Structure 1
Amino acid sequence: MKEKLDELRSQGKRIFSHSKLNTMNTCEYEYYNTYIKKNRGIDNVYTLMGSLIHDNLENIYNNKNDIEKFRKQYQEKLFELDMLGINFPNESIGNSWKADVGHFLENFKKLDVKMKTEMLIVFEVLDGVYVQGYIDATVPSDQGKPYVNLIDWKTSSKFSGKKLTEAGRQLLMYKLGIEAVSKYKVDKIMWFMIKYVTVHRQGKTKVITKMCSRGKWVKEMRNQIEKELISIGMDAFELEMLLDKAVEDNNLDCLPEEVKSKFWLEDCVVEYEVTEERLEEFKNYIRETIGRIDSKDPNNEDDWKPVEISKYNSFYCSTLCGHRKHCKYYKKFLEENADGFTKKEKLNNFDLFE
């Protein structure tokens, strides 16, 4: 695949990635800065920590690392970024993210499967249009050869609505790619949601499952746990004390065994269903996105429109965009809304306010 990629580039073929296409649909002005002007931009805490987690998982499954080294590097990276002033949007968001990922690391269990990691795929998705990407993990399917399952590690929040479709396109690209360049057929495409855990609860007749944030799964399951404690006749005062401690510790160690045994955790793996409608939507998305790129004048900066910025959707501009320190549109937004920002928010955007 690496040789094929080099060959296509030498031939001047058009090669896109999921990230490149997604950037055009997020903010045309960011696309212009990144891919037309070739400005590298700056990193953010999510991409840097996400890369560290991906790299360590790859090394663990290739037997080049272990979980203890992973935990150590994770803590060192958080400290390094804090010293460099590369922070989460606020302390509450940061604490929540660290609690979720920290729970994953403390309870890490290596999947007992043969795994191919970071597989590069390059293929022609439309006439004359190529896409490239790296598949996080390829594992055998229960159906046996030639079927495989594809797994994408995700440190983001769970997907719904428009975000589900956007994230699903990347998995669909992987499926089409591996089937185009290899003898394998893809059975399932899935996300491994690092920040979440699947909580199983043994009901009277069946097992009930719920997807919970790792760092506060007990809090999110409090009502169900309370019902189990009531069912064994526990005193109301003792019940509340035990529940409060369980929520604080984020585990059930303080509870009676007959209640603890009814709850167990598994890593959260979410399957994305492949349908003909979704595959067609993905191809139309690529066709439409490239059409919009081609309609723009690469020599006219004003032809590339920025994302519409408001106080309610400025998270991307303030935290994720690689050009947030120098974007003229975000600067204008900050100036027009300066009275509505706190001192800390102004400090975080010092370069632009200055």
Structure 2
Amino acid sequence: MGARDKLVIPKKFIKKYGEKFPLWSYSKINTLDNCKHEYYLSRVKKLKSEDNIYTVSGTCAHDIIQDYYENKIKYNQMADLFETKFFDIEISDFRFSSDEQKNTSMRNKYKSCVKDFFLTHKPIETKVLTEKLIWVDVDGHVFMGYVDAIIKDQDGNYNIIDWKTSTIYKGAKIKLHGKQLLLYALGLHQMGVPLDKIKVAWNFLKYVNVTYKQKNGKYKTTSSERHKWVAAIKTPLKKDIKSVYNMEDWEADIKLEELISANSLDGLDEEIQNKYKLDDCYVYAEVSEELVNELKRDLVAGIEEINERGDEEDKWNREPIQPKDEFYCNVLCGVKRHCKFYKAYQEKNKKYQSEEDKLLEEIDNILSL
């Protein structure tokens, strides 16, 4: 995101709020919700936030998709381009995990799934607006943000799409993480688009939707990580194998394991292959006036809390870091090097590990007597 002086602020906001007024973003409020002290370090003290493996790899995928829809690259260049760019990430210091074996496994899975997306992505056929800057007035507070993609479908609906390389959202997480997309929906609504004509969704790049027809005639869709999508349909697939090939149960199990291992239905009869349809994994969040009003209350409450805390460090303290916070603090927080709470947690862990090693050594000595 560029500096404020490079932004072309809509005249309606300047007319309403003057030349100088605070600019807000959803990420600011989200940082506050994630960790108060992180907000202080990154937003109040304005310490530079460091990238992590997820921001770097996510940006890599986003840029390729954007370049494709802006006609800068061709469809068949995406997968190779991703592999080339991801190689730079593989040889960098960025890690999915501090454990080398786990890091290798996670990295290979990530690479395989995202590359498969670029090989099989079904292009959006209507015009795609990429990285569209959206301005939103939230009860007197001006928010701005960039939308990955906006498309108008054949039914006249405006679809706000966020390309996502994270783990898929399900259940309550859809509403929780949908707040950012809901904010952008409000921005479109304030531009004159009826709220009931706006849809918001994520396209989870690492996942694929598998749709098949059940015996009752209804269709079922299952979302699965791309590197193991065949395993996700093993129950109906086994029934199809037994039926089409007249196999015994044990024979079908052997065939099924082969297909799961290859993660492909290649070689099966077309009658079976055609039964399973693969699509990009779009997950939609609800858009309603009630949810928009709830979002506005939450955002305003966040702004009020930020203003009340001011710029004194002791007003931005947090509870000591617990094991449940470790992934966020260790991997996702960009200012952990400056965080006194993170340093305290590391020192506590070092002391605990030292005591544990000492105890294990004493036990080993006793057993060796």
Structure 1 range deviating more: 23-32 or 199-208: 199-208
8 Å contact from structure 1 (residues 28, 305) kept in 2: yes
Cα distance in 2 between the residues matched to 1:98 and 1:341: 33
Are 1:173 and 2:183 counterparts? Answer: yes
Cα distance in 2 between the residues matched to 1:10 and 1:321: 35
Cα distance change, pair 193–104 in 1 and its aligned pair in 2 (3 A):
same
Are 1:231 and 2:243 counterparts? Answer: yes
Cα distance change, pair 101–34 in 1 and its aligned pair in 2 (3 A):
same
Q: CA deviation at 1:21?
A: 1.0
Match for residue 223 of structure 2? Answer: 211
Cα distance in 1 between the residues matched to 2:220 and 2:147: 32
Give the structure with the higher percent helix: 2
Are 1:192 and 2:203 counterparts? Answer: yes
Match for residue 150 of structure 1? Answer: 160
Q: What RMSD in Å do the two structures reach over aligned CA positions?
A: 2.4
Cα distance change, pair 77–306 in 1 and its aligned pair in 2 (3 A):
farther
Cα distance in 2 between the residues matched to 1:317 and 1:143: 44
Match for residue 57 of structure 2? Answer: 49
SS of alignment partner, residue 291 of structure 1: helix
Match for residue 96 of structure 2? Answer: 88
Cα distance in 2 between the residues matched to 1:220 and 1:340: 41
Q: 1:3 aligns with which of 4, 8, 13?
A: 8
Structure 1 range deviating more: 284-293 or 202-211: 202-211
Match for residue 284 of structure 1? Answer: 297
Are 1:108 and 2:121 counterparts? Answer: yes
Q: TM-score, normalised by structure 2?
A: 0.84
Structure 1 range deviating more: 108-117 or 40-49: 108-117
Cα distance change, pair 207–320 in 1 and its aligned pair in 2 (3 A):
same
8 Å contact from structure 1 (residues 27, 307) kept in 2: no
1:1-354 superposed matches below 5 A: 2-4=7-9, 11-89=19-97, 90-127=103-140, 129-144=141-156, 147-181=157-191, 186-204=197-215, 205-232=217-244, 233-298=246-311, 300-306=312-318, 309-338=321-350
Cα distance change, pair 292–265 in 1 and its aligned pair in 2 (3 A):
same
Equivalenced residues, count:
338
Cα distance in 1 between the residues matched to 2:174 and 2:318: 23
Cα distance change, pair 34–200 in 1 and its aligned pair in 2 (3 A):
same
Cα distance in 2 between the residues matched to 1:31 and 1:321: 10
Identity of matched residues, %: 33
Gaps in structure 1 of 5+ consecutive residues: 343-354
Cα distance in 1 between the residues matched to 2:183 and 2:213: 38
8 Å contact from structure 1 (residues 149, 188) kept in 2: yes
Q: CA deviation at 1:237?
A: 4.1
Cα distance change, pair 135–99 in 1 and its aligned pair in 2 (3 A):
same
Q: TM-score, normalised by structure 1?
A: 0.88
Cα distance in 2 between the residues matched to 1:161 and 1:40: 34
Cα distance in 1 between the residues matched to 2:342 and 2:220: 46
8 Å contact from structure 2 (residues 163, 202) kept in 1: yes
Cα distance in 1 between the residues matched to 2:169 and 2:347: 33
Give deviations 1:294-349, integer Å, cap 9, x for gaps: 11130x2121133652223311111111012332211111211226669xxxxxxx
8 Å contact from structure 2 (residues 148, 163) kept in 1: yes
Structure 1 range deviating more: 67-76 or 205-214: 67-76
Structure 2 residue identity aligned to 1:197: V
Q: CA deviation at 1:254?
A: 3.2
Cα distance in 1 between the residues matched to 2:241 and 2:67: 43
SS of alignment partner, residue 139 of structure 1: strand
Cα distance change, pair 38–87 in 1 and its aligned pair in 2 (3 A):
same
Structure 2 residue identity aligned to 1:326: H
Cα distance in 2 between the residues matched to 1:280 and 1:184: 15
Cα distance in 1 between the residues matched to 2:151 and 2:332: 31
SS of alignment partner, residue 203 of structure 2: strand
SS of alignment partner, residue 313 of structure 1: helix
